[in-house]
């Protein structure tokens, strides 16, 4: 499935370790779902959340954002449109490059274990079929250039972020995404607090081909509009989807 980004202005982040609302119909109003989290997340609850959302809304694009290769299997890969994988610019080395090399080292070394038991397991055939599975996986990977701007958030702690970027650095990271890393998404993450439009404006100025997401503290229609007016392609809403469906509906553009 190829994504038409111009249709996507509202994204919902779903934590598979938390309860989903009984009625998933509220997702009818969002344009994309990203399933991912860290605490308590497993391959099994990720797959369960993905499949429930798929059943309720078959036409809605669904991504998995895995925190480790243990959250991924051939079943989750088959079930989603893309695997979105964050690269945190202002995080520690582990959360930019080391985690990725580790992830792909594991997949390259043991494709049949990482990508599912369905692969042949004898001699040369492993290598050749494993290689195909890896190629298939590669086509589904969507890297995201992230900055985490709320130092008090769990996301900052987990990504080893001890410094928020200045507005100039946000522009630089956006330009590095557009010109150097060529990641399809640049993601300004304020995780749990509303950051306002400044960083989004700074980033939007240097992004043409890159899609710009803003996430963090969005609770009202006005905040959504402010962020979209500042140049973001989409807002990402998370907590209130699980906690407060009424408020979730207020965040729609």
Binding site for a second copy (CB under 8 A): 85, 87, 89, 92-93, 96-97, 100-109, 131, 134-135, 137-138, 141, 143, 168-169, 171-176, 178-182, 205-206, 208
Helices 99-109 and 123-139 cross at an angle (nearest 10°) of: 140
Closest CB 84 distance from a second copy, rounded Å: 11
Closest CB 15 distance from a second copy, rounded Å: 24
3-state secondary structure of 116: coil
Q: How far apart (Å, rounded) are the C-alpha atoms in residues 202 and 190?
A: 15
Considering the complex, state which of residue 45 and residue 169 has its C-beta at the smaller distance from a second copy. Answer: 169
Considering the complex, state which of residue 48 and residue 106 has its C-beta at the smaller distance from a second copy. Answer: 106
Residue 62 — φ and ψ, nearest 5°? -130, 125
| Bridge partners for 85 per DSSP | 143
Considering the complex, state which of residue 47 and residue 174 has its C-beta at the smaller distance from a second copy. Answer: 174
Q: How far apart (Å, rounded) are the C-alpha atoms in residues 238 and 116?
A: 30
Tokens standing for 223?
């905040």
Considering the complex, state which of residue 19 and residue 168 has its C-beta at the smaller distance from a second copy. Answer: 168
> How many separate helices (H) and strands (E) can be counted in the chain?
12, 8
Considering the complex, state which of residue 5 and residue 181 has its C-beta at the smaller distance from a second copy. Answer: 181
Closest CB 124 distance from a second copy, rounded Å: 13
Closest CB 23 distance from a second copy, rounded Å: 37
């Amino acid at each position: 499935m190829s994504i038409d980004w111009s249709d996507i202005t509202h994204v919902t982040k779903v934590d598979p370790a938390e309860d989903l609302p009984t009625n998933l119909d509220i997702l009818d109003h969002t344009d994309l779902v990203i399933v991912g989290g860290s605490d308590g997340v497993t391959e099994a609850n990720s797959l369960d959340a993905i499949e429930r959302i798929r059943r309720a809304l078959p036409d809605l694009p669904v991504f998995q954002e895995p925190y480790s290769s243990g959250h991924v299997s051939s079943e989750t890969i088959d079930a989603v449109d893309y695997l979105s994988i964050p690269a945190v610019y202002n995080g520690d080395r582990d959360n930019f490059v080391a985690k990725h090399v580790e992830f792909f080292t594991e997949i390259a070394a043991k494709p049949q274990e990482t990508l599912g038991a369905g692969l042949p397991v004898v001699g040369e055939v492993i290598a050749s079929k494993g290689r195909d599975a890896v190629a298939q996986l590669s086509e589904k990977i969507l890297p995201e250039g992230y900055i985490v701007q709320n130092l008090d958030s769990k996301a900052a702690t987990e990504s080893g972020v001890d410094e928020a970027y200045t507005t100039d650095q946000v522009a630089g990271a956006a330009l590095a995404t557009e010109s150097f890393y060529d990641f399809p998404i640049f993601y300004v993450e304020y995780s749990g607090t509303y950051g306002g439009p400044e960083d989004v404006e700074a980033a939007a100025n240097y992004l043409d081909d890159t899609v710009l997401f803003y996430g963090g503290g969005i609770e009202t229609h006005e905040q959504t509009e402010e962020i979209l007016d500042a140049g973001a392609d989409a807002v990402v809403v998370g907590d209130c989807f699980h906690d407060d469906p009424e408020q979730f509906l207020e965040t729609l553009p």
